[in-house]
Structure 1
């Protein structure tokens, strides 16, 4: 099975969460981790995980990316596209299992979220959403991550994997799919 983890990251925090998620998924999936700027193809992905920083209560836009880059005291990665544009031009992804996450500052009430925006867009593209949108916290605009967030991301990825594995047919070492058949005979194997 294949998993694609796509992230948008300006200061490395969202990338760190994406890599922690991928690290956990590697136990059950052939995982590709890709920066959104590379416009990775969706291919025959079984699980798609999308991550982005929250900018102005949503996914970033060219204007918000430029604003953050100008305002930051450390050099941010400048790029022309983000998760918003990537998903805007995505093909129909009917049946693909998917989940979305973001990085954001921890505040008592935050009215918007890049993860929730990406979650709605993925659902609109026909994805089967396997978890609610998830937020991982940073201490400020440029980070760093709040302590323990990478571990929390690994645990979240474990729940994603468990959900997807429970819903997809299993394959044995020879590549055969095991299908549950309600008889006294052996399970049916197909390739």
Structure 2
């Protein structure tokens, strides 16, 4: 079993979660930023984990990515996020896909989630079978992650391995 974890991150919080999820999965796992994510997927990947920040109640768009950089987020992938990357993927028979997002704890109860949006994109594009979605919480837009979220991400990764 080979796992690929693809993340989109502007302040490092989503990347931290992605790496914790990968630690929880164990085994052969590659973690890459969306700008370096392969298309098509390597033939030996049977678990794909995709994560990004929730912007404006869903996956990022070019405008929200540019806004994030203007607010101090790391530049470098304003034009391509997980939304565009997932749209480029062809269906992969037998592929399990899990999605996650990071979002501000102050909007915990509001609708909309990058993880759920990514899961819909995977389902509608017939990329693979969605096996899980999860949200992880940050204090504010730039973070930090709330206490316990890294451990929770690692534990969630362990459930994906099973």
In structure 2, stretches of 5+ residues that fail to align are: none
- Corresponding residue for residue 102 of structure 2: 103
In structure 1, stretches of 5+ residues that fail to align are: 163-191
Compute the displacement of 1:46 (Å).
Answer: 1.1
Contact 1:101 1:136 in 2 (8 A): yes
Separation of aligned partners in 1, 2:75 and 2:16: 14
2:127 matches 1:129? no
- Corresponding residue for residue 76 of structure 1: 74
Going from structure 1 to structure 2, the CA distance change for 1:6 and 1:108 (only over 3 Å counts) comes to closer
Separation of aligned partners in 2, 1:20 and 1:108: 21
Contact 2:99 2:116 in 1 (8 A): yes
Compute the displacement of 1:110 (Å).
Answer: 1.5
Count residues with an aligned counterpart.
157
Separation of aligned partners in 2, 1:161 and 1:139: 28
Separation of aligned partners in 2, 1:111 and 1:83: 19
Compute the displacement of 1:108 (Å).
Answer: 4.6
- Corresponding residue for residue 25 of structure 1: 25
- In the TM superposition, 1:133-152 aligns within 5 A as 133-152=133-152
Separation of aligned partners in 1, 2:146 and 2:13: 10
Describe the superposition over 1:23-81 as per-residue Cα deviations: whole angstroms up to 9, x where unpaired.
1212xx310101000132411211000000001111101101111221x2x45233221
Separation of aligned partners in 2, 1:150 and 1:109: 21
Going from structure 1 to structure 2, the CA distance change for 1:49 and 1:75 (only over 3 Å counts) comes to closer
What's the RMSD between the two structures over aligned residues?
1.3
- Corresponding residue for residue 176 of structure 1: none
Separation of aligned partners in 2, 1:101 and 1:75: 19
Separation of aligned partners in 2, 1:93 and 1:58: 24
> TM-score, normalising length from structure 2?
0.91
Contact 2:90 2:127 in 1 (8 A): no
Which protein is bigger by CA-based radius of gyration?
1
Q: 2:35 aligns with which of 34, 37, 49?
A: 37
Compute the displacement of 1:130 (Å).
Answer: 1.5
SS in 2 for 1:137: strand
